[in-house]
Chain A
C-alpha cells in the first residue's frame, strides 16, 4: 500500500483549457529533442480536481486516453552532510512535448522534521523565487496575487516518517519547467549509525538521473554502507568512495539501467536510497567543533560499561490487544527479556481492568527468572478493560519501594516501559488526572517510556505522560513488524551508559546554549549541544561535561580552538562552512517548538515569548516552521504561491532519543569541583597539572631508568634495568593495610639500536585492594575496573573520574594522576614519539612521591626504598670518563662503586626534561636493590610480589 502512496513525482494529464503562461520561444529546448519517447507515467491517480475540472469543461471520458508526452529531462538529488548537518537539493527539469497544455506535479517526499529552506521554479522562462515570511504576512501576500494554474504546498503525508512538498503547474505545449527544492535536517545517531534517506520516485525514465551524497565528517568516517534497497536491480550502479573524513555516494543509472526490464518503459527507480554511516570516536569521547561564532558539541562515548537498570515492563493485555498485537508483543518481549543483562533487575506488570504482576518485587535477570517471566508472558490471554492509571502507579510503587528500602544499586537507572494500545477504559479515566497522579508519585530518577500500539491510540496522552517524566513515547505502527519495532525501540534504551549528563561552558561569552542537561545517555545514540559565542572575545571554547557512569563520576574537559576547522573545511568544496550555525538553529527551533508542544509554558506571556523567538529565528535562518510560510513569486510579483508547514509533533527534537533541559551553562556540579586531594589540580581553577611538581620523587623514565630519592641523605640514586619485552616488573607491592600494587610491563623498541634492544614501560597496572579498583595505564588508553565494571578513558580527553576515594585525572595527551584519599598519589607521563620513528616507541614514565604513606612492609623495586636504607657515599674520585666522577657507596652492608650521572625528569618539560644529577649503580642496581632484579618479575599485571 505504501508503494501506491509514494510517488515522488506524478505527471498528470488533464485536458483543461490552458491557463495563460507567457511563452517565449523554445531556444533552450534543443537538448530535449533527442530524448527518446518515454513511457506514459503512472497516471492512475489523477487528483479529484481532474474529475472536477473535466466536468467543468464538459469534456468526455476520452481525454483519459491522451498520451502523456511530458518528458522528464533531468532529475538530480544532491545531499551534503557536514558534521551531521544535512542539506539536500532536489532538482528536476520537465518538458511538455504534447500539443496540449499539461498539468505537471512536482511532488517530493522529505523526511519529517526537515526544514524547507528554499524553492524555486522556472516555468517557461519565468522564474519564481521563494522567501520565508511570517505566516499571516505570507497569506496576505498570497491572496493579493494568486498564481494562475499553479499551486504549491507542504502536505502532511500519509506515510509515517515523511511529508510531501507538492507543486502543480499547468504547462503549455512545448514549454519546460524546472523545479528546485532545498531542505535541511540533522542526523541523529540511532543504534550506532546515522541514516540518510533519499526518496527517489521520479515516476518515469529520466534522461539524466543523478544522485550524489557527500559526507564530510571531521572526526573521520568509521564505516559507510549503502544497503540494497532496490532488490538488486541497481547492482554496481551505486558507487561509493570513502576516504578518511570524506565520502561520496553516487547513483547515476542510465536510461537503460532505469528500465524495470530491458524493453520496459517503466522506471525501476522507485524507492529509497539509504546511506548508513558512523564516525570515528575511538579516540575521543566528545567532539567540540567551533566555527563562525557557533559551536556544536557531539557526545557519544562508547567504551563504558553499561549501567545496571531496574526495568519494569508494563504491558496492556486488555481485550483490544487481542490477536496479532498481543502475539507480536509476546514475541518481542521474549527477545527483550533475553537481552537483559545479569546485573539488571526487572519485573513484568500486565494489566487490563485488573493489574497483575509477575513478581511483586524487582528480581535479578538470571536465566531462570527470565525463563520464568517468558513463560508467564506466553500464557497471557488478553481480555477486559484498560486501567492505565493503576498499572502505572503499581510500577512506580515497586520502583519507589525498592529504592526506599535500598534494594537498588545507587548507580543504576530505573526505567518503566509502558506498552499500550489504548486509552484508559477502567479506573481513573480522566487523562489529565492520570498524568497528575503519575507525576506526583514518580521519583525523579525514573524514566517513563511509552509505546503506543497501533494507530488508534490516544497517542498524545502517552506522549505527554512520557515527556514529563524523562522519557519519550513512540508509536508502533502496523502489524507485521510490530515485534521488530518494539525490539528496536527497546534496543535504543537497553544500554544506559551515563546518568545526569550535563554540558557546561564556563565562559560568559558563550550564550544561547541548547538543551544541555540530560537524565541519561544510551549507548548507540549521541547527544548534541550547540551554542553561540563571541569570536572577538574568545579564541577557544572550554567545555566541561559531568556525568555518572557505571562506576565513577566523570568530568570531561575539552578545549576547541576557533579556527581548528577552518583549514579542513576550506579544502573541500562540498563542505558546508555554515554547518555550525545551521545545526544550532535547527536544534534551537526544534527545542523551542517542543517546549511549546510539551505544553509546559505556564503563562500566555511565556508562550508569546517562545513564539516570538521561534518566529524570529525562522525568519533569520530562512526555514519553514509552523509560524512561517514560504511565498513563491515571480519577479514581477504579480503571481504568488504559498507553502506552509503542516503542524507536527515536536515532542523530542525530531528524531532524537533525548529531550533534555536547559541549565545554566556554567553551573558545574559541586562534586566535580571537590577534589579529594589537593595534589591534583582541577581544570576549573585553571591550573596546569603538576605546574609545581614536588622537587623530589621516585621516578622511572626512559628505558627504564630508576631514580630513587632518599630524603634523609638528600641524594638521588639511579639504576637501569635491562630486560626483555613482555616481562612484568613489580614496582610497589604493599599487601598490608590498604593493599597497593604497582606493576609495569616492558615493551621493546621497534628494533635494536647499536646492537641493544631497549625496553620501556608500555603498560602500568595499579591495584588498590581495599577499593577493589584496578587501573591499567597503557600508551593507548586508561582502563579502570571496579569489580566487574570497566570504564575506558582516552589519552585524547582531559577527564577526571571520581570513584569513591580514587580519583583519576587525565591531562589530554600528557599525564595521568591517580590520587588515593589524601594519602597517596602517583603520576604517569606519556611519552609519544613520532609514529614512523624507526626505533623508538611510545612509553610511560612513573613518579611516586616519597610522602606516600605505605606500610612498613612495602616492597618492590621502588617500594623498598620507602623505608630509607642507610647509605654513605665517600671517596669521590675522577672516573674513567672525566664527565662522570666515581665514588664508593656503602649500603646494606656492601660497598658499591657508583658513577655520577644525569637523569631526566620530564614533569615540567615533556620533551627535553630537566636534568637530575644522581649516583648511578651499575649492574641493574645490584647491591642497592634487595636481591637480583629478576626477583621482581611477576606473572600478571596485578600479581603481588612474592616475598622470599
Chain B
C-alpha cells in the first residue's frame, strides 16, 4: 500500500494526496477525527471508562458511541488510534492504519476484541458525532452536498470553515455550485470561498470566489480537494451550497476530453483565472 501511495505521489505530484510528501510519510494519515469518529479517554487517563460511562462521554458532546462500521470507515481514511475503546453495542477494539510493534499485533484494520460480556470493564471510547463542528470537515463519501453554516439562512460574521474532500486513489472530484451568494467585494477581500486542487490550502490554488455569480464547475486533477470559506467582521449574505460527485477512473480517450473542458491543475494557468469575480 505504501508503495502504491508513493507511486501515486510521484505521479500526481501536484495533487499532493496524503501519504508521501517530500519523501516523508505524511503524518496526518493518522487523523484524530475522521468521518465523524473520534477517540476519547477519561480525564483521569487511559482505560478508565465503563461502557455506561463511555456512552455518557459521547452523549455529553452531542454524539453517540460509534459503530464498528463507522470506525472502519474512519480508519479507511486514516483514523489510527492505538487504544482500545468501547464502540456501540458493547464492542471493544481500535483502528490501525499502519501496523507497529506495540500496536495491533502487526495487523491493520480494526483490532477487534469482540462484544464484551462484562460491561464494567474499563476502556476508552470511540464516539460518532458528524455534526460537532458548525462547518467544515473531512468528506470521503462518493457524493455530497455541503453548505455554508446556517444555510439557507445567512451565514454569520467571522466564520472559518475548511472542507477536505478525500476520495479513493484514481477517482476525481467534480464540484458544482448550486447556490452562491457572498458579500461582493473587488478582489474578494471580505468574504470568500477558496478552492485548492490539493490536500491542503497551500498548493494547487484554483480560485477565490465571492459575489453572487455562480462559479463554473471544477474537476480535480487528483482524488483530494480542499475548500475553505472565510467571512470577515461585517456584512453577511445568503451563503452557498456546493455539490460534489465522484468521477471514477476513466479510459484514456475520455480523459483527454475532461482535461480540455476544465482547466484545473497547476500546469495550465491562464491569465486571470485565479479571480473569478
**Which parts of A130-183 form the interface with B (CB within 8 Å)?**
134-136, 139, 142, 151-156, 158, 160, 166
A residues within 8 A CB of B187? Answer: 135, 611, 625-627, 647
Given A323-B30, A647-B208, A600-B133 contact (CB < 8 Å)? no
The reply on B186 being an interface residue by CB < 8 A is yes
A residues within 8 A CB of B208? Answer: 647
The reply on B239 being an interface residue by CB < 8 A is no
Closest Cβ of chain B: how far from A368's Cβ, in Å?
27
Assess whether A156 is in contact with B27, with CB atoms less than 8 Å apart.
no
The reply on B14 being an interface residue by CB < 8 A is yes
Instruction: Among B27, B233, B235, point to the contact of A325 (Cβ < 8 A).
Output: B27
Assess whether B256 is in contact with A52, with CB atoms less than 8 Å apart.
yes
B residues within 8 A CB of A460? Answer: 160, 201, 228, 230
Assess whether B204 is in contact with A644, with CB atoms less than 8 Å apart.
no
**Which parts of B9-38 form the interface with A (CB within 8 Å)?**
13-14, 16, 21-28, 30-33, 38
B residues within 8 A CB of A662? Answer: none
Complexed CA–CA distance, A166 and B132 (Å): 43
A residues within 8 A CB of B203? Answer: 158, 455
Q: Which residue of A lies closest to B256 (CB)?
A: A55
Assess whether A611 is in contact with B189, with CB atoms less than 8 Å apart.
yes
Assess whether A425 is in contact with B38, with CB atoms less than 8 Å apart.
yes
Assess whether B160 is in contact with A431, with CB atoms less than 8 Å apart.
yes
Q: Which residue of B lies closest to A608 (CB)?
A: B185
B residues within 8 A CB of A383? Answer: 39, 41, 81-83
Q: Give the tally of cross-chain contacts (CB within 8 A).
A: 217
The reply on B67 being an interface residue by CB < 8 A is no
**Which parts of B220-277 form the interface with A (CB within 8 Å)?**
228, 230-235, 256, 259-260, 265-275, 277
Q: Which residue of B lies closest to A153 (CB)?
A: B271
Assess whether A47 is in contact with B234, with CB atoms less than 8 Å apart.
no
Instruction: Among A155, A421, A480, point to the contact of B24 (Cβ < 8 A).
Output: A480
Q: Which residue of B lies closest to A323 (CB)?
A: B27
Complexed CA–CA distance, A386 and B33 (Å): 9
Complexed CA–CA distance, A164 and B141 (Å): 35
The reply on A478 being an interface residue by CB < 8 A is yes
A-contact bits for B132-174, CB 8 A (1 contact / 0 none): 1110100000000000000000001111101010000000000
Assess whether A643 is in contact with B40, with CB atoms less than 8 Å apart.
no
A-contact bits for B45-70, CB 8 A (1 contact / 0 none): 00000000000000001000000000
Q: Is the interface of B mostly helix, strand, loop or mixed?
A: loop
Given A353-B41, A460-B228, A602-B234, A160-B202 contact (CB < 8 Å)? yes
B-contact bits for A474-490, CB 8 A (1 contact / 0 none): 01011110000000000
Given A151-B270, A156-B274, A642-B272, A324-B202 contact (CB < 8 Å)? no
Assess whether A51 is in contact with B200, with CB atoms less than 8 Å apart.
no
The reply on A855 being an interface residue by CB < 8 A is no
Complexed CA–CA distance, A643 and B271 (Å): 6
Instruction: Among A52, A353, A626, point to the contact of B40 (Cβ < 8 A).
Output: A353
A residues within 8 A CB of B177? Answer: none
Assess whether A432 is in contact with B235, with CB atoms less than 8 Å apart.
no
Which of B27, B81, B232 neighbours the largest number of chain A CB atoms within 10 Å of its CB? Answer: B27
- Contacts A/B (CB < 8 Å), 30 sampled: A1-B21, A51-B259, A136-B186, A139-B272, A151-B271, A153-B273, A155-B269, A158-B14, A158-B204, A158-B266, A318-B32, A319-B39, A383-B81, A384-B39, A385-B32, A385-B40, A431-B159, A435-B158, A455-B202, A458-B136, A458-B160, A460-B228, A478-B24, A480-B22, A599-B231, A603-B234, A607-B234, A611-B186, A615-B186, A647-B189
- If A5-B13, A319-B31, A596-B232 are given as contacts, then 13 extra A-B residue pairs at C-beta distance below 8 Å, sorted by A number, are A45-B267, A323-B25, A385-B32, A385-B33, A385-B40, A423-B136, A475-B202, A479-B21, A479-B24, A604-B234, A611-B185, A626-B189, A647-B188
